[in-house]
Structure 1
Amino acid sequence: MNVHSTSPAWPARGRRRTAAAVLAMAGLLTACSGSGTTSAGDAPNATLNWSMPNPSTWDPVTSQSGIDVTPLSLVYDSVTRLGRKGEAQPGVATSWAYSKDGRTLTFTLRKNLKFSDGSALDATAVKKSLERGKKQADSGIVGQLTTIASIDAPAPTTLVLHLNREDYALPLVLGGKTGMVVSPEAAGADAKKVATKPVGSGPYTLTSYTPDGQAVLKKNPDYWDAKDIHIDNVTLKFLGDPQAIVSSLRSGETQLASFISGTQVSALKKSGVDVDEFPSFQVSSVEVNAKLKPFDNPLFVRAINHAIDRKALVRILNGGHGEPAVQSFPEGYVAYDPASADLYPYDPAKAKSLLKQADYDGKPFPITWFTSPGGIDRRVEAELLQDQLKKVGIATTLEQIPVAQVSDKVYVKHQVGFFPSGVFGRESPAQLLSFANTPYGTYDQPALTAALKEAGKHPIDSAGYPQALRKVTAQTVRNGSNIMLFTSPWLYGRSKKLSELSPYINSPRLEGVRLSG
């Protein structure tokens, strides 16, 4: 059976208010945004100035940061793409189907697509792009492609993935960085150049790029959905200082800002700047390395969970925007486990009891923090965590790490034990659940592996899929090393000259968005 929209991310029945709100908002904002031909209010050849963090790279294969999805999705199209609720929808592929045994996945691609360098985007090009993700030594997406044994391109519009086991989540996985199609000609000529000179088939083409400065993009007339792209030019401003981000919005220098902090919302609204708030996959968290002492003891990590006052963190760090959380998903999402929601209430007495059981020696460990462009103030976060842990007898120090060293020290060499950061979501919930524990270990890997394997056996539109996912979530909450703190909704500062954005849960998109003169 061919599938055009797979697996609603929110459960079909028993949806909570969060899901209902998203659906209602989606309908409202779709009506507001509009689509189709240019309206009289559009500014011809207008340029949208958009502030956001500088991407770690323009190459989706080597990207190590979840927040890269937003800028990369401007220049690349992916095999599928995620809809507003996180469901798989057509992208480069118009439809897909699994074999009866779930071991073969066949995609039908759009005809006559081409990359911004003029080369053909056909099944062979997609095959080479995915194979590069699987084989390149520095690939950051190889872990998401392990179930693909081999790839065939028997016809220009037919792509066949042969799997080594059932993996019904692939249409979701291929809706983000993992499925972004890079021109094989560009990557083949010099793969390293892709990091600064991307060649894709997305809604825009990068024309110039100054690291730590800005990126200039122009509309790609060959994009398959170009009719719904109404803004001709986009300049990404890489502003790191939170005050500079706010000032640029107030002055009109920028018309859109990503990753503003909830503490800035009130002031922005008072100054006449609109703020859009949508549910997201973002969760503020602490990445804990279970292979380093004292975090190798699960009782110690449980003590930390009970020592953290999550409500205070939401109020102080994000201006009350978001909800306390102990799992990686917002309430109402298909992988959200209601039974785990209240597992770690703020309970200093319980924390102290667990510390005694863990034989904590009282030695301090560093809370390693970094300066984050926009969003949560990581220094304040580190200081709050230090104070809360001190109240139960856990000694810490503060250690700032240069942002340029984060990837190497934290994710490559695993030298950091306690790292306040954030989970920015993955296209597949099973993918996120696996990723959230693999880098740092879990205290019951066999149970997690078994739960993930079981979830992988369920087609994502089947009745058994939600329950199987929730079991994995329950395993990660109880046995995972990472500590979730609170959900962080998408918060966008927006000029009144820019029409409202549609509430995509994984990343903002510009389809249907208009900029007036």
Structure 2
Amino acid sequence: MLKFHRRDFLASTAGLALVGSALAQGTPKKGGVLKVSANANPSSLDPQTGGSGSDHAFLYPIFDTLIDFEPTTLKAIPGLAESWSNPDPRTLLLNIRPGVTFHDGTPLDAAAVKVNLDRARSDPRSNIKGDLVTVEGVEVAGPQQVAIKLRQPDSALLLILSDRAGMMSSPKAMQELGKDYDRKPVGAGPMTFVSWNDNEKVSYVRHDKYWKQGQPWLDGLEMNVIPEINTALRAVVANQNDFVYFLSPQQKPLVDRAKTLVPVSGPTLYCVMTFLNFAKPPLNDLRVRQALNYAVDRESFAKATMAGLSEVATTVLPKAHWAFDPTLESYYKHDPDKAKALLAEAGHKDGLELHLIGYTDQRQQQRQEVLQEQLRKVGIKLRFSTFNIPEGSAAFFAKAEGNGLLSQWTGRPDPSLTFTLLYGKGSYFNSGREEATPEISAALAASRASPDLGERKKAFSLLQRLVLEQALSMPLLFQFELDAHNARVKGFGPNLLGKPRFDGVWLDS
């Protein structure tokens, strides 16, 4: 049987990324439709109302962001805002790129940016209010200049504007369509939306007036929804599709055997974890949450579900991340006896049943079975209700069903946004919507107070420790990105977020 070791995988994946890059060389040419095997149906095509991290692959073609990021470092670079400045610590001044239009022909100017940011902050249906919690107001300072006024200095805001909050929609389309805008998006990205057939396909065509010279190279894009990852890979092997993303490590031998495929890999922030509703009994008891974290055997979980080709997660930041604190690496060592003692102390000596939400695909069901078996050994019975990804996410985050959700956190460009969204009061991804502790709220604010990286690292060290002390979630592992495409696909590269972007891709006939 073929065996993998993590150190070998890291070395080989570095080589795979280089192989993908080398094969991408050549003179880009226009034409062709890229067909992609996508792992989930979108929850929404409105970046402000969606609630699934898997939406990004569908959103990136339609929406450009105010701030962009370098793929391998997540460093902020110009996007729709061609430059920015801080005239004072509580003001971010954005200079919007002139001449950019939305797909409906309306101008992307300062007034349009204000409409988008105000809607994100105040619309009842917005799921990203927490992203902009430090914004006090948005002002039009000139035809192409926006002044964002802050309640406090916020060093995270730039990279926040490279995510959903920075995706700009046509104000005209949002006003005319209302709730229907979820399914009929109008952005200013390289591709114009055509159609969305639920659980089947999302189609796009080239935006001929895109502001980046020469792009997009593609005539169109098809995101074909295939939740079962083995089926998704077979569609590419059979040339029904051109590209498949976020394969499991167990599929790497299949990719290698298919000599027509090019593998591409890289590290990611993608964290498989159990989200916990810490506002709802019995998980409002700290001892129960701590018992869960001591009961799980993360090393065994990784070996069983990822063939060991992953990094065990203690916090929601991987070891390679600049904000990770290595002193916290073994905070929750596997300790079944301690888990049992904590459960008994909390009044559950004879056992405890928890209702968790899960997903229906084969990979997630395997994770559910492993987790059930591990927790059974300390007297915790897990009962799963399973859905597809958008429905399961909505059941837990929007409807507060279940005690927890076995899912994944797909990462955010700035780590403070990750912690705010997961644990901040009122955040969509905080299912109970309650404040964790005043100390955590203060640490969240401190993590964004200084632009100095050293000061921010100290703030994140404290924040991670406080979150671990409160056992607000149960991180399990970080998954490496593994994508595959046929030889026609050129110009693709992975990014640290692990969310594929196809704006620079072209097809070689």
Same fold (TM over 0.5): yes
Q: Does 1:399 align with 2:385?
A: yes
Alignment match of 2:401 (pick from 386, 402, 415) = 415
Residue of structure 1 equivalent to 2:110: 123
Secondary structure, in 3 states, of the residue corresponding to 2:310?
coil
Q: CA deviation at 1:319?
A: 2.8
Alignment match of 1:68 (pick from 55, 77, 88) = 55
Residue of structure 1 equivalent to 2:457: 466
Q: Deviations over 1:49-81 (max 9, x none)?
A: 001122111101111111111210111011102
**2-structure distance, mates of 1:278, 1:267:** 18
Residue of structure 2 equivalent to 1:491: 482
Q: Does 1:199 align with 2:190?
A: no
Q: Deviations over 1:193-238 (max 9, x none)?
A: 3211111111111122212111221222322224253322211101
Secondary structure, in 3 states, of the residue corresponding to 1:416?
coil
Distance 1:348 1:361, change over 3 A: closer
Secondary structure, in 3 states, of the residue corresponding to 1:99?
strand
Q: Does 1:384 align with 2:370?
A: yes
Alignment match of 2:329 (pick from 323, 341, 345) = 341
Q: CA deviation at 1:404?
A: 5.5
Q: CA deviation at 1:420?
A: 0.8
Residue of structure 2 equivalent to 1:11: none
8 A Cα contact 1:284 1:485, kept in partner: yes
Alignment match of 1:111 (pick from 90, 98, 107) = 98
**1-structure distance, mates of 2:214, 2:454:** 37
What stretches of structure 2 of length at least 5 have no aligned partner? 1-7, 425-429
Q: Does 1:167 align with 2:154?
A: yes
Alignment match of 1:250 (pick from 206, 212, 237) = 237
Residue of structure 2 equivalent to 1:448: 440
Secondary structure, in 3 states, of the residue corresponding to 1:75?
coil
Q: CA deviation at 1:86?
A: 1.5
**1-structure distance, mates of 2:21, 2:503:** 10
8 A Cα contact 2:16 2:263, kept in partner: no
Secondary structure, in 3 states, of the residue corresponding to 1:502?
coil
Q: Does 1:508 align with 2:506?
A: no
With the length of structure 2 as denominator, give the TM-score of the two structures: 0.90
Residue of structure 1 equivalent to 2:309: 321
Query: 2:366 corresponds to which letter in structure 1?
Result: V
Secondary structure, in 3 states, of the residue corresponding to 1:382?
helix
8 A Cα contact 1:326 1:343, kept in partner: yes
Distance 1:224 1:320, change over 3 A: farther
Q: Deviations over 1:143-182 (max 9, x none)?
A: 1122212111122221111112111211110001111000
Secondary structure, in 3 states, of the residue corresponding to 1:171?
helix
Q: Does 1:238 align with 2:238?
A: no
Q: Deviations over 1:234-269 (max 9, x none)?
A: 111011223321220110111111232222222232
Q: Percent identity?
A: 25
Query: 1:435 corresponds to which letter in structure 2?
Result: L
Within-5 A mapping of 1:298-317? 298-317=286-305
Matched residue count = 493
Alignment match of 1:137 (pick from 114, 124, 130) = 124
**2-structure distance, mates of 1:126, 1:397:** 45
**2-structure distance, mates of 1:369, 1:414:** 10
Residue of structure 2 equivalent to 1:13: none
What stretches of structure 1 of length at least 5 have no aligned partner? 1-16
Query: 1:457 corresponds to which letter in structure 2?
Result: A
With the length of structure 1 as denominator, give the TM-score of the two structures: 0.88
Query: 2:507 corresponds to which letter in structure 1?
Result: L
Secondary structure, in 3 states, of the residue corresponding to 2:223?
strand
Secondary structure, in 3 states, of the residue corresponding to 2:312?
coil
Query: 1:264 corresponds to which letter in structure 2?
Result: Q
Q: Does 1:154 align with 2:141?
A: yes
**1-structure distance, mates of 2:388, 2:37:** 21
Single out whichever of 252-261 and 363-372 deviates more from structure 2: 363-372
Cα-Cα RMSD: 2.7
Distance 1:411 1:129, change over 3 A: same
Residue of structure 2 equivalent to 1:424: 410
Residue of structure 2 equivalent to 1:10: none
8 A Cα contact 2:20 2:264, kept in partner: no
Q: CA deviation at 1:118?
A: 0.8
